[in-house]
Amino acid sequence: MKKTQFLLLALALGFVFSCRENDGIADDTSVQKEVHNKTVHVTHHDGRPFSTGNSPYAKFVAGPGGSVLMQGFYWDVPDGGNWWNTVKGKLTDWSNAGIGAVWLPPASKAQNGAYSMGYDPTDYYDFGNYNQNGSIETRFGSRTELEALITKAHAENMQVYADIVINHNSGGQSEYNPYVGSNTWTNFSGVASGKFPRSYNDFYKNSYGNNDEGAFGGFPDLCHANPYVQDWLWGRDDSVGKYYKNIMKFDGWRFDYVKGFGPWVVNTWNSNVGGFSVGELWDSNVNTLEWWANNANSSVFDFAAYYKMDDAFDNGNLNVLNDDMMWKRNPFKAVTFVANHDTDIIYNKMLAYAYILTHEGYPTIFYRDYEEWLNKERLNNLIWIHNNKATGTTSILYTDNDEYIARRNGYNGNPGLVVYINNSSSWQERWIQTNWASQQIKDFTGSSSWYPTTQSDKWVKIQCAPKSYSVWSLNQ
């Protein structure tokens, strides 16, 4: 997690630093062998389409392929308190495009007040309505503006996910800490909301031990073993989780830096609070991702797929897409992505978006890719394909260094699709086996003008433009 940090020993004025989490990239365990000219089934679940569920509001209805998540911010969005209004103004267009949920940055007041991206939380109940840490509003705006954004999203039948930072806190006052024998910045008894006051015994080290799974950046490390902390995070009726869900009307959670505490924390939050849940476990080892998701009872960002896509599309090695990824282990707990506010290493992004928006898992679109950097029309086309055609289990039909072809096998009357990704510098053609006998198909991206008819044995020749992708399904 890239976060604005402060020298905690400098009276909360400190110098501002910026850092990136660098957890290392573990080697994935590959369970797939290189495949040439034959079909390999890579998932073994019941083929239900992925869906996050729809809130009972108004307009947007996810197609049979499920929904798409928008990360509604990037690192260092403009300060000045207008970001909630900016996002609110885009919700109708996002809903019309087929986006079913938006993930917002941490919404509560943090140590750097109007300049903080929110990852150094001070008062979980100050959404820009208390004068503390040098401002009333947060970087993103006022509580009233945030509530208007959430109301507007629900009117568009979109869900809203809160970024939850519960590994560490910042902005407390100095107090003597008998467990370290000196002063620590752990006195949060004076938070303006009056809710969840904290002291040194709510942070490690304390009477519950010296540490948990991990601290971050020198910030006071919140002690989830303390029943008082548990009660304020998810237990009591006005706990952080229940307040966000029942009062602020958030529909789900993106848990920040879950390496810093045990998966039982997210599991217990989910059991007590409910809502959609995804954890930021920055690790490319699919075994670690699956272990965490199962123990947390939560979805997890598919970092295994992220690094494989970088290798495939940027390094000319599409064969690595045969390797194991979280979406292949459990697509219902895999949130796939091409870039986010912390990491943006994939260069051939449209090929990567073609991959995640035609494959299983819950695909995420990064704000800057959609609004600033890539072709919005092409992304909207892929979103439509995802929502309307991307159903059923996945079969890889062909791979080599430059080409990748996979089939979604369809579900409950939906025909599925075939996606062809071509990273070479020339047009390519392949004979592949579909699920459709003696039926006309077409490329739903519009790249190819072919309208071939499948043979009685379901085989057909398809094509793909250089450095591009095509997506084939029944012409209906």
- Domain of 200 in residue numbering reads as 61-301
- 462 inside domain: no
Task: Give this prediction's pTM.
Answer: 0.89
Per-residue pLDDT of 351-397, as tens digits, reads 999 999 999 999 999 999 999 999 999 999 999 999 999 999 999 99
Contacts of range 28-31, beta carbons closer than 8 Å, 24 or more positions apart: 28/284, 28/285, 28/286, 28/304, 28/307, 28/308, 28/323, 28/324, 28/325, 29/285, 29/286, 29/287, 29/324, 30/322, 30/323, 30/324, 31/323, 31/324
Q: Check whether 146 has a pLDDT greater than 70.
A: yes
Q: Is 401 contained in some domain?
A: no
Res. 159 pLDDT band, cuts 50 70 90: very high
Segment 271-313, tens digit of pLDDT = 999 999 999 999 999 999 999 999 999 999 999 999 999 999 9
Structural domains counted in the chain: 1
127-145: pLDDT as tens digits: 999 999 999 999 999 999 9
CATH number of the domain encompassing residue 294: 3.20.20.80
The pLDDT value recorded for residue 59 is: 55
Average pLDDT over residues 7-17: 34
Lowest mean pLDDT: which of 35-39, 86-90, 344-348? 35-39
Question: What is the pLDDT at residue 5?
Answer: 38
Give a yes or no: residue 44 inside a domain.
no
- Identify whether 112 is part of a domain: yes
Residue 79 in any domain: the answer is yes
Mean pLDDT calculated for residue range 148-169 = 97
